Chain A
Amino acid sequence: MSSIQWQFPRALEDEAIYILRETAAQFERPAILFSGGKDSITLVRLAQKAFYPGKIPFPLLHVDTGHNFPETIEFRDWLVETLGLELIVRNVQDSINQGKAKEETGKYASRNALQTVTLLDAIEELKFDACIGGARRDEEKARAKERIFSVRDEFGQWNAKMQRPELFDMLNGKINIGENVRVFPISNWTELDVWNYIREEELAIPSIYFSHEREIIERDGMYWPFSPYLNTTEEEVPFRSKVRFRTVGDMTCTAAVLSEADKLEDIIEEILAAKISERGARIDDKRSEAAMEKRKQAGYF
Chain B
Amino acid sequence: MDVLRITTSGSVDDGKSTLIGRLLYDTKSITQDKMEALQAASKRKGLDFTDLSLLTDGLIAEREQGITIDVAHIYFSTPNRKYIIADTPGHFEYTRNMVTGASTSQVSLILIDARKGIVEQTYRHFFIACMLRIPHLVVCINKMDLVEYDEARYNQIVEDFRQLLPGSYYENLEVKCIPISSLYGENVVTRTEKIGWYEGEPLLEFLEQIQFDRNDRNHPARFPIQYVIRPKTEQFHDFRGFAGKIASGSFNVGDTIVSLPNGQKSKIKSIEKFGEQLTAAHAGESVVITLEDEIDISRGNILVQEGQPLPEARREVQAQICWMDQHKLTPGKTYLLQHGPTRIKSKVQQITNVTEVTTNRVEEKSEMGLNDIGRIVLKTAQPVFADTYQSNPANGTFILVDEFSNATVAVGFVE
Contact = CB atoms under 8 A, between A and B. Distances in A.
A98 B30 CA distance: 43
Contact of B79 (A6, A14, A53, A293): A6
Given A6-B1, A167-B103, A274-B31, A144 B74 contact: yes
A165 to B, nearest CB: 4
Nearest to B33: A280
B411 A145 contact: no
Interface in A59-109: none
Interface stretch (B109-117, B160-168, B177-185, B222-230): B222-230
Contacts of A141: 55-58, 72
B206 interface: no
B77 A6 contact: yes
Interface string B339-381: 0110000000000000000000000000000000000000000
B59 A24 contact: no
Contacts of B397: 167-168, 170
A188 B407 contact: no
Contacts of A289: 37, 41, 63
B323 to A, nearest CB: 11
Given A7-B1, A9-B82, A172 B408 contact: yes
Interface string B230-244: 110101100101011
B14 interface: no
A280 B70 CA distance: 24
A240 interface: no
Contacts of A51: 227, 229, 243
A26 B286 CA distance: 17
Interface residues of A, number: 60
B75 A190 contact: yes
B99 interface: yes
Given A9-B1, A14-B284, A167-B99, A54 B33 contact: no
Interface of A: 1, 5-9, 11-15, 17-18, 21-22, 24-25, 48-55, 137-138, 140-142, 144-145, 151, 160-161, 163-170, 172, 174-176, 187-188, 190, 192-193, 274-277, 280, 289-290, 293
Given A6-B79, A54-B236, A141-B58, 12 more contacts: A7-B1, A11-B3, A25-B227, A48-B274, A49-B274, A141-B56, A145-B72, A160-B70, A164-B407, A192-B77, A280-B31, A289-B41
Interface of B: 1-3, 31-34, 37, 41, 55-61, 63, 69-75, 77, 79, 81-82, 84, 96-97, 99-100, 103-104, 226-227, 229-231, 233, 235-236, 239, 241, 243-245, 272-275, 284-286, 288, 299, 324, 336, 338, 340-341, 397-399, 401, 406-408, 411
